[in-house]
Structure 1
Amino acid sequence: DLSVGDFTGVDLSYANLSYANLRHTDLTGADLTGANLTGANLINADLGGADLGGADLSNTDLGSAELTGADLSNADLSNADLSYAYLGGANLIGADLSYAHLYGANLINANLNGANLINANLWYTNLINADLSTVDLTGVSWVDTTCPDGTNSDDNGNTCENNL
């Protein structure tokens, strides 16, 4: 149980933290490059500015986590719960977000270029100014989503695909 710990700036690259309890943990600026966080509990964790490039975050609970400016490039976030997470300015280039739950998440100015969002839940998600270039949006569920151009998915035929 590593909950409520302070790992600010710590090098945890390639660490095996699968199924770890990291709830409310401070990982600001930590190096988690290539780390295995499969199934971990990161609810309300602070990962602002952390490097999670290539990390395995599949089936991880990141509900209400702070990921401002985090590097999640090429990370596996498949089936992750990112409900109410804050990913403002995060780098999600090439990330796998298939089947991810982004209910109420904030992705303002996030870069999702080349990401996989197949069957992701984007209900109430804020995507203002997010880069969704070459993103696979097959099967995405849009409800009251704020599109990158500031329009609402409900006013665009329940999609943001033409408002990127």
Structure 2
Amino acid sequence: MPIEDSTEPYAQPLSGSQLKGANLAGRNLASADLRGADLSGANLTRADLSNANLQSANLSGANLTLAKLTNARLQGANLTGAVLKLANLSEADLREANLNGAVLMSATLFKTRLSHAFLKSANLIGAHLVYTDLNHADLTGALLTGATLEYANLTDANLRGANLTAAKLSYAVLKGVNFTGAIGFIRIAS
């Protein structure tokens, strides 16, 4: 199904659509129904996906640089190796999503729900994760250099081998966190 070049929100349901490798850069897909859609390798640079339903969608290898995903529903979505540099994922729901190897450099994840998410070897350098729910998240080997995790909930998260150099964890909930082999200075203010 072709998606017209428009600044108006896309109103047609796209659930289950095959959009692999599609060029959707700058498209307004706010509130779009993309449940289970295949967007692997798609170019979604600067796309507006705010309030979109992307549950169980395949976004592996997609380019979401500067994309707006505020309040998007991405539960169980596959974002393996996706590029989300400077993307805004504030208040998005990524519970149980797979972000292994994803690039989220300087992304905004304010109050984002990432409980039980997979973020192995994810690049979160300089990311803003204030008030983010990361309970039971797997951040094994993740790069969190300079990331802001203030007030984040990291209960029972796995940070084995993660790089936390200059990460800010003021007031974060760290109960049961696995820091085995984690490197870097952890700054916790009281």
Say how many residue pairs are matched.
154
- Residue in 1 that maps onto 2:41: 14
Candidates 68, 72, 87, aligned match of 2:114 = 87
Q: Which has the higher contact order (CA 8 A, sep 6+)?
A: 1
CA drift of 1:148 comes to 4.0
Q: Given the superposition, is the C-alpha separation of residues 157 and 50 from structure 1 closer, same or farther in structure 2, using an over 3 Å criterion?
A: closer
Candidates 61, 71, 76, aligned match of 1:34 = 61
Q: Which runs of 4+ in 1 moved over 2 A?
A: none
- Residue in 1 that maps onto 2:21: none
- Residue in 2 that maps onto 1:106: 133
Instruction: Provide TM-score, normalisation by structure 2.
Output: 0.79
Instruction: Provide TM-score, normalisation by structure 1.
Output: 0.91
Unpaired runs of at least 5, structure 1? 151-155, 160-164
- Residue in 1 that maps onto 2:52: 25
Distance 2:140 2:71 in 1: 26
Does 2:79 correspond to 1:52?
A: yes
CA RMSD of aligned residues (A): 1.3
Distance 2:74 2:175 in 1: 24
Does 2:185 correspond to 1:158?
A: no
Unpaired runs of at least 5, structure 2? 1-27, 178-185
Letter in 2 for 1:136: N
In our comparison, the structure showing a higher alpha carbon Rg is 2
Q: Contact (CA 8 Å) 2:169, 2:187: kept in 1 or not?
A: no
Percent identity between the two aligned chains: 40
